[in-house]
């Protein structure tokens, strides 16, 4: 079986792909992208991902980037992470996967790095952050309602790609950015998503990620800052 290579940084979006690889029991190796020296902006990494974003997964078909694309590719190649293309639930899964990857995740990025989107003015950055936080609260409410309806591809007994993606996003809401007020977010406000986090937290794939990235004892239900054995989350 193919052995993949995951280019990662602790507690970055590569965490989602690591969870998927571990859950599917796929053989893979890792290569640290050292954010402390902006390795993601160097020529070698940009040859894999011209945008300089983490993660990249090296595959037999070439390097892949964009978290949602990697998850979908792995699901279709190996099964078990999402409804199969012929499955009746496939269309619903796809629209919510892309909602998380194209709507929720970018809103988080704008909250974490407002300077990249609003420029150097602190007032503009604060305005963007506030707008995005309000949007994220709405997105999480939508996902909480959806999860409460228990569609098959969010069934606690069938954890897969969206479980991992959503749990990671919720973790980051609670932790980042470190130097700002995060009282806008409470996991308890979305009880169905809280239960989803507990489901993911109990999986063997999470124990592997905890050891590899120093995620602490309750990485999704009551997260703490990562203390990784190598590299830095920021």
What is the per-residue pLDDT for 154? 93
**For 9-36, what is each residue's pLDDT tens digit?**
999 999 999 999 999 999 999 999 999 9
What is the per-residue pLDDT for 2? 60
Any idea where the domains of the chain sit in the sequence? 90-203
* Single pTM value for the model: 0.96
**For 201-224, what is each residue's pLDDT tens digit?**
999 999 999 999 999 999 999 999
The answer to whether residues 126 and 184 touch, using CB atoms and an 8 Å cutoff, is no
The residues facing 8 across adjacent strands are 32
The answer to whether residues 36 and 59 touch, using CB atoms and an 8 Å cutoff, is no
Looking at the chain, the whole-number percentage of residues with pLDDT higher than 90 is: 93
**For 183-198, what is each residue's pLDDT tens digit?**
999 999 999 999 999 9
**And the tokens for 24?**
């599917």
The answer to whether residues 81 and 20 touch, using CB atoms and an 8 Å cutoff, is yes
**For 50-83, what is each residue's pLDDT tens digit?**
999 999 999 999 999 999 999 999 999 999 999 9
Query: Could you name the CATH architecture of 90-203?
Result: Up-down Bundle (1.20)
Cis-peptide, bond into residue 177, ω within 30° of zero: yes
Phi, psi (rounded to 5 degrees) for 221: -85, -30
């Amino acid at each position: 079986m193919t052995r993949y290579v995951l280019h990662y940084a602790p507690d970055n979006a590569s965490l989602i792909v690591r969870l998927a690889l571990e859950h599917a029991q796929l053989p893979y190796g890792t290569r640290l992208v050292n954010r402390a020296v902006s390795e993601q902006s160097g020529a070698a990494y940009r040859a894999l991902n011209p945008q300089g974003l983490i993660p990249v997964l090296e595959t037999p078909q070439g390097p892949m980037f964009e978290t949602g694309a990697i998850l979908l590719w792995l699901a279709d190649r190996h099964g078990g992470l999402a409804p199969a293309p012929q499955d009746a639930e496939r269309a619903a899964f796809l629209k919510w996967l892309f909602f998380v990857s194209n709507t929720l995740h970018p809103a988080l990025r704008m909250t974490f790095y407002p300077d990249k989107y609003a420029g150097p003015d602190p007032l503009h950055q604060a305005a963007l952050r506030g707008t995005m936080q309000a949007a994220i609260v709405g997105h999480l409410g939508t996902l909480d309602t959806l999860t409460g309806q228990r569609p098959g591809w969010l069934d606690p007994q069938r954890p897969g790609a969206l479980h991992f993606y959503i749990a990671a996003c919720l973790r980051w809401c609670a932790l980042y950015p470190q130097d700002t007020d995060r009282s806008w977010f409470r996991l308890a406000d979305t009880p169905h998503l809280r239960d989803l986090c507990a489901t993911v937290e109990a999986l063997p794939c999470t124990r592997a990620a905890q050891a590899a990235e120093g995620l602490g004892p309750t990485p999704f239900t009551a997260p703490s800052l990562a203390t990784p054995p190598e590299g830095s989350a920021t």
